Amino acid sequence: MTDRFQGKTVLVTGGAGGLGRAYALAFAREGAFLILADINEAGLAETKDMVEALGSGASVHRVDMAVEADIEALGRDVLATHARLDVLINNAGLHAGEIARGFFGLGQAKWQHFFAVNTIGPLLLAEALRPALAKAKGVIINKSSMASYNPATAYGITKASLNVLTHAMAQQFGTDDIRCVGIAPGLMATDAALGGVDPENWERLKAMQSVKRQGTADDIANLGLFLASDEGSFVNNQVILCDGGNQMRGFRI
């Protein structure tokens, strides 16, 4: 454990498990105070206990990223208690089920829901938190996906759209010295991925990687630590793949 983030505040959406929990624990080990947001209150409580067991503090907030009023309320709550926000990790998102199986026949309502959570929600939350991010000269980290580089599903399309939005956010938020970057994970060994990919397909997809070991949530969290740290402070307006050099994008077909 080091103290790179001692005295700093980090907000993680989707913090109830998976990559969100990995981010939370990684920053907690570095001394950060965690603001955890998710729709899963039980998972949030578990992550909070794990953060506190590492000697860091945390607060939890239930938020549905498809509901603008929830996002606005989270922004108000955070600004009321934290003058500065050093890191915003827009990790929450939809990734399983219909969104990952194609894009015909979904209808307007489903498309709007998918975009609300995966693309527009991160922007609205960053807007709501802009005063605290500006005071800290903080960084926004958006969670993309390798699927965004060959978007053959609704999931990939929402993430490709988030990539474009990440570049726009870097320009617009940059006037307040706020950086904005994205991380595009590949096939990582998380509960969500393990439950959403058939075992036979799992090995086929892993074989497409130049690096043959299995990616883990810690690989993504470690990249997030670097991008948010002083060492990564000159990286901006980029979406960085972390997928072991996978040769096929858009694997959710």
Tens-digit pLDDT profile for residues 24-75: 999 999 999 999 999 999 999 999 999 999 999 999 999 999 999 999 999 9
Q: Tell me the mean pLDDT in the region 121-145.
A: 98
3-state secondary structure (DSSP) of residue 129? coil
**pLDDT at res. 250:** 46
- Do the Cβ atoms of 100 and 252 come closer than 8 Å? yes
Model confidence pLDDT, tens digit, residues 203-219? 777 788 888 888 899 99
Q: Tell me the mean pLDDT in the region 171-199.
A: 86
Cα–Cα distance measured from residue 107 to residue 224, given in angstroms and rounded to the nearest whole number: 35
Active site residue 135: no
How is the chain split into domains, by residue range?
9-242
Catalytic residue among 8, 143, 159, 206: 159
Model confidence pLDDT, tens digit, residues 22-38? 999 999 999 999 999 99
Q: Where are the alpha helices (DSSP H) in the chain?
A: 18-29, 41-53, 68-81, 107-115, 121-128, 130-136, 154-173, 191-196, 199-207, 217-228
- The enclosing H or E element of 182 equals strand 179-185
**CATH architecture for segment(s) 9-242:** 3-Layer(aba) Sandwich (3.40)
Least confident of 78-87, 106-115, 243-252: 243-252
pTM of the model: 0.94
